[in-house]
Amino acid sequence: QSALTQPRSVSESPGQSVTISCTGTSSDVDNYNYVSWYQQHPGKAPKLMIYDVTQRPPGVPDRFSGSKSGNTASLTISGLQAEDEAAYYCCSYAGSYTWVFGGGTKLTVL
C-alpha cells in the first residue's frame, strides 16, 4: 500500500498545457484501468476530474484528459486557466478492495 508517485509541483502559463504524471506498480496502475484524478482547492473537498483512466464526469471541461501507459498514468490540462490552480491527486484501485492515492501535485498557473 505505498503511495503512487507524483511530482510535488508543476507550473505553466495561462493558455499552455501541462501534464502531471502518476507512477505506480504492477499491483495497481499497471494492473487495473481504474485510475482517477481529483482536483482540490485549498480548504475544499476533492472533486472528481477523470475516472477509469480517460473518462470525464459531466461538467468537467474537455481541457482535462487522462491517459495511461504501463504503470504510469497522466493527467493533461490544456488551455490552462487561473482557476485550474489547485492540487491534483491520482488514485488507483490496488486490488482486494483497497485503493492508493498519489502524494499530490501542486499546479501553479503563472
Taking the complex as a whole, how short is the minimal distance between the CB of residue 38 and another protein, in angstroms?
7
Taking the complex as a whole, how short is the minimal distance between the CB of residue 89 and another protein, in angstroms?
5
Q: How far is CA 11 from the centre of its chain?
A: 15
Nearer to another protein, 72 or 101 (CB): 101
For residue 103, the SS3 value is coil
Nearer to another protein, 14 or 57 (CB): 57
Q: Return the residues of window 11-70 that contact another protein according to CB under 8 A.
A: 34, 36, 38, 40, 44-48, 51-52, 57
What letter would DSSP give residue 82?
A: G
> Buried b vs exposed e over 89-106: b needs ≥16 C-beta within 10 Å?
bbbbbbeeeeebbbebbb
